[in-house]
Amino acid sequence: LRVQIGFVPQDGFLFSETIKDNIRFGKYDATDVEVEEAAKNAYVHKNITEFKNGYNTMVGERGVTLSGGQKQRVSIARAIIGSPKILIFDDCLSAVDTETEEIILGNLKRISEGITTIIISHRVSSIKNADSIIVLDNGKLIQNGTHEELKNQDGYYKDIYEQQISEV
């Protein structure tokens, strides 16, 4: 069951191993090509290749040598490398800028075709292309629909959407 689920928590946990080994944790027998492809889809490959030791860079305990965004993207690479049937992203794009977020979301849309993908986020930009959006408040369902439906009806989603749009 575990290999069928790819999970990325908001605070991506990394092991005190190399970047390559941290990504391979999602698929132990992954080839170097598969590791690189996952990193490219998570939009972290370029950052990795800029390190002196590239994919063999030790990340330190809990990934202290990487920025928050890099840790999240390595965690995304680890989740997608095994081609799971279910992907769960728990606010895992919170530490990246909106441009990087758009690139990652575009890659995820392409590779998650036919895969159940659950995105938990406070950022409308992360969920706006979802087939169905569920809005929860204190664990209670208060709205659901598509982005277009929800942004055009009074309620929590529209308020958040308008607030976030004005911040850009």
Full pLDDT tens readout for the chain, 168 residues: 888 999 998 887 898 999 999 999 999 999 999 999 999 999 999 999 999 999 999 997 767 788 888 999 999 999 999 999 999 999 888 888 888 989 999 999 998 888 999 999 988 989 999 999 999 999 999 999 999 999 999 999 999 999 998 876
User: Cα Rg for the chain, rounded, in angstroms?
Assistant: 17
State the pLDDT at residue 141.
96
Amino acid at position 61, single letter: E
∠ Cα 102 27 105 (to 5°)? 10
Classify each residue of 17-47 as buried b or exposed e, where b means 16 or more C-beta atoms within 10 Å of its C-beta.
Answer: ebbbbbbbbbbeebeeebbbbbbebbbbbeb
Confidence (pTM): 0.90
State the pLDDT at residue 107.
93
Amino acid at position 135, single letter: V
State the pLDDT at residue 138.
93
